[in-house]
Structure 1
Amino acid sequence: MKATGIIVEYNPFHNGHLHHATSAKEKSGADVLIAVMSGQFLQRGEPAFADKWARTEMALAAGIDLVIELPYAYATAQASDFAKGGITLLDALGCESFCFGSEQGAIEPFLRSYKLLADRRGQYEQMIHEAVKTGVSYPMALNKAYTELVGETEGFADLKQPNNILGFHYIDAAKKLNSPIQPITIQRIGANFHDPIRSGTAIASATGIRKAFFEDTSIEELSVYMPEASVLALKRFAEETGSFGSWNRFYPLLRYTILRERPDGIRKFAEVTEGIENLIYDAAKTEDTFENFIVRVKSKRFTRTRVQRMLTHIYTGFTWEQLRTFQTPTYLRLLGMSAAGRNYLNRQKKNIGLPLISRAASLDDSMGKLDIHATSMYMLGLGKTAMKKEYTSPPLYFG
């Protein structure tokens, strides 16, 4: 059986994701579609809108055959490490290809860009270093250096676009792994990442859907943008928890943690750098809402996304010391499967490159224990006491 992979968050699963999943399977000619999906906290430093089991249910109903959890250490990391984690897991599962959505819509510009930067790696890194010294954020420094290298030459990937950037990192990760896995891209359709929802279309970004919901648009009113299974899963999740994940919901606990730790304690958490712990502490003392807090802290150098990743690690207690111990994913956590996915695992069992874990009780290393802890903190943020959900939730089966 031939498998292709995708790296996703499904926050929540919408019609654009359905297009990506369907197109990935068609374009790759694969029999099985495998999704590596972030768990309870996401790459842009946010609690997931719905937990990983609700999002797994959405994915399986839409035709995904295997859902594998991307460990917290990679799901909440900067783009290069996020990509490394996802591609490592897809490679371990024997995927022949991976498929990402992009603004570019064609793979050749990415391959040209990769070759350019590989050939001129030393110069590129020096240019990034010089740009960072001017006070710009690291992502802006990357883009500035890349733009200078490319110049007016056509045929390269536009790495100012968010999905193009992530796609480039997937390719870079596969090359660094010396993996035979082949990249495929499809044209991203409809809304861009930050776009609000628009009437007259069935495609909206996950950000737009969440924003509309928190501005008092009902799940029923948003159903035009999502498959029916997603709507039903969200309704069940809301009935179980009484709310959806957001920093507004989690902020009282985050604020308490910041004030308890004080600057000296904040400094130990992953991604906290360059004295920003003082600003974080001062903002927590004075700002009653998360939005006011984040506006106080973010800046040209420290983007909202970067600050939110710091806050995620402060909230979960993930330290620099822990981060530095993780070199690569150590297991494959199975969240759900279809009949085809189960058949694929049975056929591939001797060739799978990492331990396949179906129960949380088997997550006995530090990376796995961190995932269990992240679920506890996520449930606490929702105001629920279901701390043992990791242990009581077997993989979902969609037959």
Structure 2
Amino acid sequence: MSKVKPEIVGIIAEYNPFHNGHLYQLQQVKERFPGAKIVVAMSGNFLQRGEPAAFDKWTRATQALANGADVVLELPVADALQPADRFAFGGVRALAAFGAEVLAFGAEHATYDFMAYARLTQNLTGNFKKYDQAYAASWQEAIAQKIGHEVSSPNDLLGLAYAKANLALGEPLSLYPIRRIKAAYHEEDLYKDQVIASATAIRQAYLAGKLTDLQAYVPKSTFVDLQSQKMLSWADFWPLLRYRLTMARIEDLGQIYGMAEGIEYRLVQQLEQLGPQATFEEWLKAVKNKRFTYTRLSRLATAVLLDLRTEEVKVYQKAPFLRLLGFSQAGQTLLNKVKKNTPYPLVTRVTQKDKQTFLATDYKVGRIYQLLNGRQQDIKRQVIRF
């Protein structure tokens, strides 16, 4: 670490939902950096892997603040709905702009020197457009050849993405990997002899009606939300996406962010062939080919649902901003010091003018999520004071 006692430690997260594994991570940060404030850059209502958040951004921010975070910032959709490298860049940029000195993150192999790996692979070139292989697989092969071993576990790959983003930004952050314990990233089962389960397992158990089983795996604040709110999934948004695909012109779909190689024709064609009873998962499977991973297709489906245009993403990247969702008492003291020095605007409330200008895209995204959960997402929402 470049600084023994940092004032601000950053975390990039989704908290979908906040569970005991996330609580463990916060506890590890507090133990390693006593006295430091924890600032979380959290995805908003739609997530990096191309899915709606189980709970809205305000609920998840409150869960984080209730369990030890001091400030929660929203990663705008143009940062959140991205492949790992661009998602990481947006998160690192936001935390560095807020004054964080350390980035803490979970990793399957916390002993890896991620910054060293980033330097080895920063100018990596290769044939990443093999038509019999997805980009992600080609990229992992090239990394393994350069480093000398595979880096294939989900959080290790994300850790490498954080390191590469940090390198590209001039290394404003020191990295603090925390070894993931118990549940693997995509683990789908709950184990009664454990208190940590993956977010995937928690969501699947909830959707299967096993609410009472979840009490052991989440903090009290999250369990209250599980009891009082409906957890959303693609099944809820699928009718809206079907409508968008049915009504949109092909040339308009071609303007959606991430659309490539004429895949828009396949999206519509497979929807028409499957018929009205098809589920989102059945449609995604029908659309899948060797060039497009399921995750990339899910992100693309989300972009279609949100009518997220390439030009909108470019506008944000030229003029990024920070969106404040909530803070603790300790976080308020930090905010008073930081807000005067951030290089980007710090948004604390959404005005009528904002929703028509630089916040237009994220306001639209919030409105779409609001259609399903019935809670205001921007206008009239006050920053959470925990």
Is the TM-score greater than 0.5? Answer: yes
Who is 2:105 aligned against? 100
For 1:216, the equivalent position in structure 2 comes to 209
Q: In structure 1, what residue type is equivalent to 2:136?
A: P
Matched residue type, 1:393: R
> Is 1:80 matched up with 2:85?
yes
**1:327 alignment partner, SS class:** helix
1:107 is displaced (CA, Å) by: 4.7
In structure 1, what is the equivalent of residue 3 of structure 2?
none
Q: CA deviation at 1:392?
A: 1.7
Instruction: State the Cα distance separating 1:329 from its structure 2 match.
Output: 5.8
Counterpart contact for 2:16–2:199, Cα < 8 Å:
yes
The match for 1:323 is 313
Q: Does the residue aligned with 2:250 lie in a helix, a strand or coil? A: helix
Kept in 1, the 8 Å contact 2:131–2:290? The answer is no
Is the 1:80–1:169 contact (alpha carbons within 8 Å) kept by the matching residues of 2? yes
Aligned to 1:155: none
Higher helix share: 1
Q: State the match for 2:167 in structure 1.
A: 175
Deviation (angstroms), 1:283: 2.0
Equivalent residue runs for 1:29-48 within 5 Å: 29-48=34-53
Quick check: 347-356 or 33-42, which moved more?
347-356
User: Residue deviations 1:246-265, cap 9 Å, x none?
Assistant: 11111111001001114333
- 1:199-246 CA-partner distances (Å, limit 9, x unpaired): 22111111111111112222x32111100011112333x1xxxx3221
Question: Aligned equivalents of 1:353 and 1:206: distance in 2?
Answer: 34
- Code of the residue aligned with 2:146 in structure 1: it is L
SS at match of 1:270: coil
Query: Which stretches in structure 1 are left out of the alignment for 5+ residues?
Result: 153-157
Give the Cα–Cα distance (whole angstroms) in 2 for the partners of residues 203 and 245 of structure 1.
22
Seen in structure 2, the aligned counterparts of structure 1 residues 66 and 306 have a Cα distance that, compared at 3 Å, is same
**Structure 1 match to 2:253:** 266
Matching residue within 346, 349, 353 for 1:356? 346
Normalised TM-score (structure 2): 0.92
Partner residue in 2 for 1:91: 96
* Displacement of 1:291: 1.6
Maintained 8 Å contact 2:131/2:291: no
Relative distance call for 1:365 and 1:180 in structure 2 (3 A) is: farther
Aligned match of 1:307 = 297
Q: Following TM superposition, by how much is the alpha carbon of 1:98 offset from its aligned partner in structure 2, in angstroms?
A: 0.8
Q: Percent identity?
A: 35
Pairing partner for 1:135 from 110, 132, 136:
132
Over aligned residues, Cα RMSD in angstroms? Answer: 1.8
**For 1:43-93, what per-residue CA distance to the aligned partner results, in whole angstroms no more than 9, with x for missing partners?**
000000000011011001101000000001011111111111111111111
- Partner of 1:282 in structure 2? 269
Matched residue SS, 1:67: strand
Match of 2:378 among 365, 387, 390: 390
Give aligned pairs, total.
Answer: 376
In 2, Cα distance between equivalents of 1:72 and 1:351: 24
Q: 1:255 to 1:310 in 2, by over 3 A?
A: same
Task: Give 1:345 shift.
Answer: 1.0
1:51 equivalent to 2:56? Answer: yes
Q: CA deviation at 1:368?
A: 2.0
Aligned-partner Cα distance in 1 for 2:112–2:33: 13
Partner of 1:161: 153
Aligned partner of 2:19 in structure 1 is 14
Q: How does 1:214-253 map to 2 (within 5 A)?
A: 214-218=207-211, 220-236=212-228, 238=229, 243-253=230-240
Amino acid aligned to 2:259: V
1:186 matched to 2:178: yes
Equivalent residues of 2:355, 2:363 under 8 A apart: no
Aligned-pair distance for 1:197?
A: 2.4
Question: How high is the TM-score relative to the length of structure 1?
Answer: 0.89
User: In structure 2, the residue corresponding to 1:169 is in which secondary structure?
Assistant: helix
Long gaps (5+) in structure 2: 1-5
Q: 1:132-189: CA deviations, max 9, x gaps?
A: 224311111110111222346xxxxx42111011111111111111142211111011
The ranges of structure 1 where at least 4 consecutive aligned residues each deviate by more than 3 angstroms after the TM superposition are 362-367
Q: What does the per-residue CA deviation read over 1:314-352, in whole Å, with 9 as the maximum and x for residues that have no partner?
A: 001111222233325622211110000001111233322
**Aligned pair in 2 of structure 1 residues 38, 165: CA closer, same or farther (>3 Å)?**
same
Q: 1:316 to 1:163 in 2, by over 3 A?
A: same
Change (3 A) 1:369 1:228: same
The DSSP-based 3-state class of the residue aligned with 1:216 is coil
Residue in 1 that maps onto 2:337: 347
Instruction: State the distance in 2 between where 1:365 and 1:141 align.
Output: 41
Mapped to 1, the partners of 2:87 and 2:354 lie a distance apart of: 20
Task: Give the whole-Å Cα distance in 2 for the aligned partners of 1:3 and 1:112.
Answer: 23
Counterpart-to-counterpart distance in 2, 1:323 and 1:350: 26
1:82-129: per-residue Cα shift (whole Å, max 9, x none)?
111111111111111111110111252x122112123xx1xx22x1xx
